[in-house]
């Protein structure tokens, strides 16, 4: 495993810890639960980090994840 793969693995672990903390905090507050669309967006961002060796696919997956997160924010604000 080279250095860049180590950074990718570390960032995935940090993102997973943040996600677990958000879900744990979200259980105490009913109004801020993770929506399925936000979960899908998070999955796309993580997949983009996993496929970081191929820039086109990695950045494309991350872009889809960010767009889904923005759509989720817009839908939440509208409702």
Q: Domain of 45?
A: 3-78
Dist. CA 18–CA 7, nearest whole Å: 16
- Write down the mean pLDDT value for the chain: 85
pLDDT (average), residues 19-43: 79
Q: What is the pLDDT of residue 77?
A: 86
Q: Is the pLDDT of residue 31 over 80?
A: no
pLDDT (average), residues 20-49: 81
User: Residue 28 — pLDDT band, cuts 50, 70, 90?
Assistant: low
Question: Dihedral angle at the C-alpha atoms of 5, 8, 10, 15, nearest 10 degrees?
Answer: -160
Domain count, the chain: 1
Dist. CA 61–CA 41, nearest whole Å: 9
- The model scores a pTM over 0.95: no
């Amino acid at each position: 495993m080279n250095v860049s793969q180590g950074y990718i693995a570390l960032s995935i672990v940090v993102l997973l810890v943040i996600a677990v903390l958000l879900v744990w905090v979200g259980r105490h507050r009913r109004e801020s639960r993770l929506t399925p669309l936000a979960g899908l967006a998070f999955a796309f961002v993580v997949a983009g980090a996993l496929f970081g060796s191929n820039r086109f696919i990695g950045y494309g997956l991350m872009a889809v994840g960010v767009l889904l997160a923005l759509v989720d924010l817009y839908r939440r604000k509208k409702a």
